Amino acid sequence: MARVEKSNIQSILDFIIEETPSELTGFDSIQYMVNLLFELSSDQRELMKRHVEGYLEMMDKVEASDIDMGGDGCVGKVWYRVHGTKKVSDKSDTYTLDESNVLILSVLSDTQMENLIINKSVDLSYALSIDRDRRFRCTVYFDLENLGMNMRKINNEIRPFAGLNLHPEVAKHLSLKYLKYGLTLVTGITGSGKSTTLDTIIDANNRSVRGHIVIIASPIELVHKPMKCIVRHREVGSDVASFRDGIVQAMRQDPDIVVIGELRDNVAIKNALEVTDSGHKVFSTLHTASAMESIDRIIGETPLNEQERVRIRLADVLTCVISQKLVNTIEGTRVLAKEVLVATPPVRAAIRNGNVAEIYQMLNEGGQHGMHTLEQDLVRLVRQRIISPEEALNQANNKTRIKQLLK
């Protein structure tokens, strides 16, 4: 389908902007635009949406992972992230702040626009009109009284499990076939590939074991087609009101595996531990950079008077932590580097006794169980001439240790 040029929608943009009273600013102006958009015909809204989708369709060609637009920060342009670097699209038109506001609103449904007004931000999954299999994780938010938007491309091609290069013992911990219960965490900073790794693990179970998988996420990213498993996808905000409700309801849905998109707060952590306590296999993510930080985060997020109980419960149910980063290669692409913790009896004892600092040494010496530190994995990539020593040093959590290993 031909791209809808800005000139094709300029009259619609002008109508919305001119009809919005000039004395209105910020939130009030956006709310008025929302009401005007409600009155547009479906064809008019579709034209504006198709204009935005033109930029989404170009992402594969330029190898972009993310797109940003709107607000003062984008200076009237559309930006891509290509191999980790943000830059202005050379195909971008120039937009006023109000034009960007209208275009961003045009990709939202009526309910999503209402949620944006209520919550000042909205997260959603977005599918291209011409190809529903091409999907994006989208967030729209206020930025100095205007709207900003980021969309991240969801890779529909699931990477093979073997590509994670995990030790056989670790692979067993991740498989429902070998372990029917326990909590596995995939952690890392934003953009580290957590969702991709988690989808690979889900897919491996879906292909190999008969069961029931319930995925609760905000938003739902990759949609898994049922193979040996029933797979339920529940998007927070559209299919279920909250993570808490989704987790509680999952207990009544006879699941074998419960996937919680992110442990965002104390309530989600508490509910995840309860699901795991009841004998289910649970996978989730955290925005942490290492296995030890992940353990500290879970305990630290809970009230002081509950931390001892959470510490003991975590020691009982934790099975594995994979903490990862995407690091720059010598060839200019990115490659996965990871730290892997398996909850062996000594690791469980360290958690239970509050001696989390001891775990780093266990990671260093736990190769027979499939464990290793991020620094050990970075050195492996250096020795394979995939990344430079400088990049390894830059990405390491423990700078002193990486210098010792690189000697």
Write out pLDDT tens, residues 161-205: 999 999 999 999 999 999 999 999 999 998 888 989 999 999 999
Stretch (H or E) spanning 376: helix 374-383
Read off the pLDDT of each residue in 117-129 and give the average, rounded to a whole number: 90
Task: Tell me the C-alpha distance between 106 and 6, whole Å.
Answer: 14
Tell me the longest C-alpha to C-alpha distance in the chain.
69
Phi first, then psi, for residue 35 (nearest 5°) are -65, -35
Q: What phi and psi, each to the nearest 5 degrees, are found at residue 113?
A: -65, -40
What does the alpha-carbon distance between residue 75 and residue 221 come to, in Å, rounded to a whole number? 29
Two structure tokens written together for 118: 């209520």
Q: What is the mean pLDDT of residues 113-141?
A: 90
Q: Mean pLDDT, to the nearest integer, of 257-284?
A: 91
The answer to whether residues 284 and 139 belong to one domain is: no
Among residues 153, 176, 205, the one where a domain terminates is 153
Is there a single domain that holds both residue 136 and residue 204?
no
> What is the rounded CA–CA span in Å between residue 389 and residue 12?
54
Say how far apart CA 66 and CA 68 lie, in whole Å: 7
Does residue 1 fall inside a structural domain?
no
Residue 206 within any structural domain of the chain = yes
Predicted confidence (pLDDT) per residue in 52-83, tens digit: 999 999 998 999 999 999 999 999 999 999 98
Last residue of some domain: 122, 153, 184?
Answer: 153
- Does one domain contain both 131 and 188? no
Residue 164 is predicted with a pLDDT of: 93
Domain-terminating residue out of 98, 129, 153: 153
**pLDDT tens digits, one per residue of 209-249:** 999 999 999 888 888 999 999 999 998 888 998 888 999 89
The mean pLDDT value of the chain amounts to: 93
Whether residue 231 sits in one domain with residue 139: no
Q: What pLDDT digit, counting tens, does each position of 330-358 carry?
A: 998 899 999 999 999 999 999 999 999 99
Q: What is the pTM of this model?
A: 0.79
- Which pLDDT score is estimated for 1? 60
- The reported pLDDT for the residue numbered 256 is 96
Q: State whether 207 and 303 are in the same domain.
A: yes
In a domain, 183, yes or no: yes
243 and 332 together in one domain: yes
Same domain, 138 and 170: no
Does the residue 356 lie in any domain?
yes
Closest by Cα among 15, 178, 150, 10 to 86:
150
pLDDT for position 157: 82
User: What is the mean pLDDT of the segment spanning 290-302?
Assistant: 94
Does residue 130 lie in a domain region? yes
Domain residues for the domain of 111 are 6-153
Same-domain pairing of 262 and 114: no
Residue 155 pLDDT exceeds 90 = no
Look up residue 115 and give its two tokens: 């949620």
Q: What pLDDT shows up at residue 222?
A: 87
Task: Say how many domains are in the chain.
Answer: 2
The answer as to whether 178 is a domain residue is yes
Q: Are residues 175 and 248 in the same domain?
A: yes
Residue 144 belongs to some domain of the structure: yes
Same domain, 129 and 170: no
Is the residue at 245 inside a domain?
yes
Output the domain CATH number for residue 227: 3.40.50.300
pLDDT at 176: 96
Q: Is the same domain home to 239 and 379?
A: yes
Please report which helix (H) or strand (E) contains residue 114, including its range.
helix 110-119
Does residue 220 share a domain with residue 134?
no
Selection from 378, 261, 385, 249 nearest residue 326 by Cα: 378
Coil vs helix vs strand at 191: coil
